[in-house]
Amino acid sequence: MTAPEAEAPPATRGGDWPDSAFLRQLAAVIRAEDSYGSWEGKSDAELLADFILTAEERRAMPIISDPDPDVMWRLEKFYDAIGLMLERETGCMAGQMSKFNHEGWGRVVLIAGRLVVLSKHLRDVHRFGFETFQKLAEAGETLAADAAATVARFPEAAQA
Amino acid sequence: MTAPEAEAPPATRGGDWPDSAFLRQLAAVIRAEDSYGSWEGKSDAELLADFILTAEERRAMPIISDPDPDVMWRLEKFYDAIGLMLERETGCMAGQMSKFNHEGWGRVVLIAGRLVVLSKHLRDVHRFGFETFQKLAEAGETLAADAAATVARFPEAAQA
């Protein structure tokens, strides 16, 4: 539609990089898998680039498709980072469980002790992604705050 | 080792059929999947025969094997039946989630509201089975009673 030179340069994909404890935690979770140090030269923004899914990209995705293992991996890292944020804030270690069907519908939970600190029903999981780094940061921080509030509400169950 | 005629007749495999609310519930869970009524003529003991794994059968199983989908199906029905027993006793509906690796190690949980009413770490899940119907009944009843005790301990979280 527009001339190629009108395309936004790749550096601005995902927008500005906000100062966010969640984004730092998520990048650290991903760096922890870098056994061979091949990502050492990469910035956090580069490591999290695949979490960005613009409106155009979303529209271009096929409606019918099995969730990609890479998407499931990113989803897992996203909730791992929330679990670690929670642990830093409350001292409660939370483990993740999820259940998805082949159409990408399902549920992910974080469990600390006997407490489900976070429960999220998801659909269209093969389109898991965020328009901007700002939205990714907000999503993670909101979920981590909700999980901490749930721990505060049921502290005995979280420690059981 | 012994002559073939010394072999126990198939009817006694699993031992006596005890009077057990759990076994009735488990059989009902399985009958619920019988869309075409092809199991109508079968007894509960026949429907649950595959939950029996004798010591000899266990020894004969290969140590290394991926969990069979049929085993995973039975495991799911087993915990579904526990969830239904719990619901009848406490009024709390509990849903199941599980996570297993290819070696058959993992965890299954039952969740009611915000509460993990049952959490079980399992290994060797490809050998999931019970020596006798009596042991199957006891396992189910013990887990259902534990789950009900957990609900009684954290009633608000179970209803959250």
How confident is the model at residue B78, as a pLDDT? Answer: 98
How confident is the model at residue A61, as a pLDDT? Answer: 84
Out of A97, A150, A160, name the one closest to residue B114 (CB).
A150
Using an 8 Å Cβ cutoff, are B139 and B81 in contact?
no
d(CA B115, CA A60): 40
Which residues fall within 8 angstroms of residue B92, CB to CB, at 6 or more apart?
A: B86, B112, B113, B117, B151, B158, B159
Collapse the DSSP code of B10 into the 3-class scheme (helix H, G, I; strand E, B; otherwise coil) and give the result: helix
d(CA A83, CA A78): 9
Q: What is the pLDDT of residues B44-71, one digit of tens each?
A: 999 999 999 999 998 888 767 778 889 9
How confident is the model at residue A3, as a pLDDT? Answer: 47
The boundaries of the domain holding residue B116 are 66-160
* Predicted structure pTM score: 0.86
Whether residue B42 is contained in a domain is answered as: no
Contacts of B157 in chain A (CB under 8 A): 114-115, 154, 157
- Of B77 and B8, which is predicted with more confidence? B77
Which residues fall within 8 angstroms of residue A115, CB to CB, at 6 or more apart?
A: A150, A151, A154, A157, A158, A160, B114, B115, B116, B157
Whether residue A51 is contained in a domain is answered as: no
Q: Which of A108, A107, A123, A114 lies closest to A151 in space, CA to CA?
A: A114
A153 token code pair: 């509400």
Q: Is the pLDDT of residue A7 over 70?
A: no
Whether residue B22 is contained in a domain is answered as: no
Q: What is the pLDDT of residues B34-49, one digit of tens each?
A: 889 899 999 999 999 9
* CATH number of the domain to which A103 belongs: 1.10.3100.20
What's the domain count of chain B? Answer: 1
Contacts of B98 in chain A (CB under 8 A): 97, 99
Out of B99, B150, B156, name the one closest to residue A154 (CB).
B156
Q: Is the pLDDT of residue A136 over 90?
A: yes
- Residue B8's pLDDT band, with cuts at 50, 70 and 90, is very low
Using an 8 Å Cβ cutoff, are A117 and A81 in contact?
no
Whether residue B149 is contained in a domain is answered as: yes
Collapse the DSSP code of B125 into the 3-class scheme (helix H, G, I; strand E, B; otherwise coil) and give the result: helix
Whether residue A6 is contained in a domain is answered as: no
Whether residue B57 is contained in a domain is answered as: no
Whether residue B103 is contained in a domain is answered as: yes
- Of B55 and B5, which is predicted with more confidence? B55
Whether residue A47 is contained in a domain is answered as: no
